[in-house]
């Protein structure tokens, strides 16, 4: 009897303790809710800003708020799709223009003009160029940042000199890291300067994000996104347009460093796509497991007009693909008299005064294919 009484007493004491603990947990939960709703900013242990609506109904939260809430939870699968969280302030367009044959033309001006007009993108652009300061001085708005290459990044012992320029694609994160104004940038979009924007850039990124399930993460993987190459029998990727996520982890740059390493070890390569082929084979064989090359379908996102028929088809209704890759090789000579000029004028939405600037409409045949 005495033993049973002692057991009953112990059970009663434990129940009281549990009730006390539950009450304390309830109070702590209320305090946490009040803390998040007091109107001030709060940070997670990792230093990430916690959204004030963290505990709100997800239906009431914006895409960016949901993304921040999911990121702070630490779940690798929880990151919001880029299609839903695209933010111009967290993006930068990266352009490269090297050599007299590139900088003596107006291809950079045309790309940026089309980006601002039909692309409806007013965010940051980073132009990496070896042209003298006065070449682009005063031509662009304050959101265009002009940088010069570091001497230690120049490698000139390739059999094909164009590879010296192509190699700079592998430094896009490094150069963004050098600009304090770009600290908030998470997504970098590399674009060849012989590409024009024919439709809103936001729409392109949202469509690509949905189709390819592009999502931000901060784990130890490294990804690069490319369009599928038109010559699928020769190359895996078309490198004129590339998406890279800038992360806080040290491995964010792994794919780009790997790409540079392969380029440096293959001095006889003529195209950077060839080096991507080698990386792709290593990934398929299991030799490389930290880098992922995501190959996106071209769909109606990018076009490669090479003749009058191509240009006429797009210009007929003044509706264009998001990206128009005008190859500035001998193929451009197949454009009839005035056809190329009319097409470029329409894409750029040039005024009468702007059309008087013949350089904006010029057709060249120098080998800008070395940048694609």
- Give pLDDT tens digits for 48-79: 332 322 223 333 333 333 333 333 333 333 34
8 A C-beta contact, residue 21 and residue 2:
no
Which residues of the chain fall short of a pLDDT of 50?
A: 30, 32-79, 329-331, 365-372
For residue 269, the model assigns a pLDDT of: 87
DSSP code per residue over 15-81: HHHHHHHHHHHHHHHHHHHHHHTSSS-EE-TTSPEEPTTTTS-GGGS-HHHHHHHHHHHT-GGGPPB
For residue 111, the model assigns a pLDDT of: 95
**DSSP at 11:** H
For residue 203, the model assigns a pLDDT of: 95
**What predicted TM-score, i.e. pTM, was given to this entire model?**
0.75
For residue 54, the model assigns a pLDDT of: 26
For residue 310, the model assigns a pLDDT of: 76
For residue 104, the model assigns a pLDDT of: 85
Alpha-carbon torsion (225, 90, 190, 251), positive or negative: negative
Condensed to tens digits (0 to 9), the pLDDT of residues 86-138 reads: 889 999 999 999 988 778 888 899 999 999 999 999 999 999 999 998 999 99
């Amino acid at each position: 009897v005495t033993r049973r009484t002692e057991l009953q007493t112990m059970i009663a004491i434990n129940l009281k303790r549990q009730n006390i603990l539950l009450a304390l947990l309830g109070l702590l939960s209320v305090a946490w809710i009040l803390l998040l709703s007091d109107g001030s900013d709060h940070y997670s242990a990792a230093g990430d800003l916690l959204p004030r609506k963290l505990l709100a109904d997800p239906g009431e939260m914006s895409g960016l708020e949901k993304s921040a809430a999911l990121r702070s939870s630490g779940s690798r699968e929880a990151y919001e799709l880029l299609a839903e969280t695209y933010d111009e302030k967290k993006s930068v367009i990266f352009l490269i223009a090297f050599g007299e044959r590139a900088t003596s033309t107006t291809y950079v001006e045309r790309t940026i003009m089309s980006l601002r007009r039909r692309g409806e993108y007013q965010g940051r652009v980073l132009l990496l160029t070896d042209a003298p300061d006065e070449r682009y001085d005063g031509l662009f708005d304050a959101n265009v940042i002009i940088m010069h290459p570091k001497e230690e990044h120049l490698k000139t012992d390739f059999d094909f000199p164009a590879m010296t320029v192509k190699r700079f694609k592998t430094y896009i994160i490094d150069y963004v890291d050098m600009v304090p104004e770009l600290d908030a940038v998470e997504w970098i979009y590399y674009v060849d300067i012989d590409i024009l924007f024919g439709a809103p850039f936001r729409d392109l990124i949202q469509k690509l994000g949905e189709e390819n399930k592009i999502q931000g993460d901060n784990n130890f993987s490294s990804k690069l996104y490319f369009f599928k190459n038109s010559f699928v029998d020769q190359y895996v990727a078309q490198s004129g347009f590339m998406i890279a996520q800038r992360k806080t982890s040290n491995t964010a740059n792994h794919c780009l460093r790997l790409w540079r390493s392969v380029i440096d070890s293959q001095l006889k390569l003529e195209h950077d796509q060839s080096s991507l082929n080698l990386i792709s084979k290593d990934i398929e064989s299991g030799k490389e497991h930290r880098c992922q090359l995501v190959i996106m379908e071209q769909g109606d996102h990018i076009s490669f007009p090479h003749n009058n028929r191509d240009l006429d088809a797009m210009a007929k209704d003044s509706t264009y693909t998001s990206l128009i890759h005008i190859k500035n090789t001998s193929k451009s000579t197949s454009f009839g008299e005035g056809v190329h000029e009319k097409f470029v004028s329409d894409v750029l939405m040039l005024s009468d005064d702007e059309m008087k600037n013949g350089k904006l409409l010029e057709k060249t045949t120098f080998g800008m294919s070395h940048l694609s």
